[in-house]
Chain A
Amino acid sequence: MYKILKKETVAPQVEAMIIDAPYIARHHQAGNFVVLRIDEKGERIPLTIADADSEKGTITLLFQKIGKTTEKLGTLKPGTAIRDIAGPLGHATPILQYGHCVLVGGGIGSATLYPILKALNKKNNRVTVILGARTSDLLVWGDRFKALSDEVLFTTDDGSSGLKGLVTGALKDVMDKSEVKIVIAVGPIRMMQAVAELTKPYNIKTLVSLNPVMVEGTGMCGACRVTVGGKTRFACIEGPEFDAHEVDFHVLADRLEFYREEEQESMKLFKKKKCKRNCKK
Chain B
Amino acid sequence: MRTRDAKKRSRDFREVALGLTERQALKEARRCLQCKKPMCVEGCPVEINIPAFIAAIRNTDFPGALNVIRQYNMLPAVCGRVCPQENQCQSRCILGKKKAPIAIGALERFAADYEARKGLSERPVKIRPNGHKVAVIGSGPAGLTAAADLAKMGYDITIFEALHEAGGVLLYGIPEFRLPKKIIKREIEYVKSLGVKILLNWVVGKTQTIEELFREGFRAVFIGVGAGSPRYMSIPGENLNNVYFASEFLTRVNLMKAEQFPRYDTPVKKARKVAVIGGGNVAMDSARTALRLGAEKVFIVYRRSGDEMPSRQEEVEHAKKEGIIFKFLTNPKEIIGDERGYVKAIRCDRMVLCEPDTSGRRRPECSGEEFILDVDQVIMAIGQTSNPILVRSIEGLKLWGAGYIEVDENGASNIPGIFAGGDISTGAATVISAMGAGKRAARAIHDFIAKPK
Contacts and interface: CB of A to CB of B under 8 A. Distances in A.
Interface in A216-268: 216, 218-223, 225-227, 231-232, 237, 250-251, 254-255, 257-259, 262-263, 265-266
Contacts of B200: 84
Contacts of A89: 203, 206
B232 A232 contact: yes
Given A84-B200, A87-B206, A266-B265, A219 B238 contact: no
Contacts of A42: 265
B358 interface: no
Name the residue among A216, A223, A255 with the largest chain B CB count within 10 angstroms. A216
Interface in A23-70: 23-24, 27, 37, 41-44, 68-69
Interface string B246-273: 0110011001110001111111010000
Given A43-B265, A44-B256, A83-B164, A221 B208 contact: no
B385 to A, nearest CB: 10
B264 A41 contact: yes
Nearest to A252: B239
Contact of B203 (A43, A86, A266): A86
A220 B247 contact: yes
B261 A222 contact: no
Given A24-B207, A86-B164, A87-B203, A69 B265 contact: yes
Nearest to B227: A220
A88 interface: yes
Contact of A251 (B163, B164, B206, B239): B239
B299 to A, nearest CB: 21
A131 interface: no
A42 B256 CA distance: 8
B200 to A, nearest CB: 7
B449 interface: no
Contact of B163 (A87, A216, A226, A266): A216
Interface string A176-198: 00000000000000000000000
B67 interface: no
A140 interface: no
Nearest to A258: B241
A96 interface: no
Contact of A87 (B207, B257, B266): B207
Interface string B180-215: 000000000000000000001111001110000000
A259 B203 contact: no
A254 B238 CA distance: 13
Given A221-B248, A237-B388, A251-B239, A44 B228 contact: no
Contacts of B238: 232
B239 A215 contact: no
B280 interface: no
Report the interface size class on chain A: 35 or more
A221 B269 contact: no
Contacts of B263: 41
Report the interface size class on chain B: 35 or more
Contact of A216 (B242, B251, B269): B251
Contacts of A262: 261-262, 267
Interface string B214-252: 000000000000001110101000111110010110011
A269 interface: yes
A101 interface: no
B387 interface: yes
B248 A222 contact: yes
B388 to A, nearest CB: 6
A85 B163 CA distance: 9
A37 B229 CA distance: 22
A269 B388 contact: no
B332 to A, nearest CB: 15
B256 A222 contact: no
Nearest to B250: A221
Contacts of A88: 206-207
Given A83-B164, A219-B389, A254-B241, A232 B256 contact: no
**9 nearest CB pairs, A to B:** A254-B341, A262-B267, A221-B248, A43-B265, A220-B228, A222-B245, A84-B164, A86-B201, A43-B266
Given A222-B245, A262-B267, 10 more contacts: A83-B164, A86-B162, A86-B163, A89-B206, A215-B248, A220-B172, A220-B387, A221-B247, A225-B245, A255-B239
Interface of B: 162-164, 172, 200-203, 206-208, 228-230, 232, 234, 238-242, 245, 247-248, 251-252, 255-257, 261-267, 269, 340-341, 387-389
8 contacts: A86-B163, A89-B203, A215-B252, A215-B266, A223-B248, A237-B388, A257-B341, A263-B267
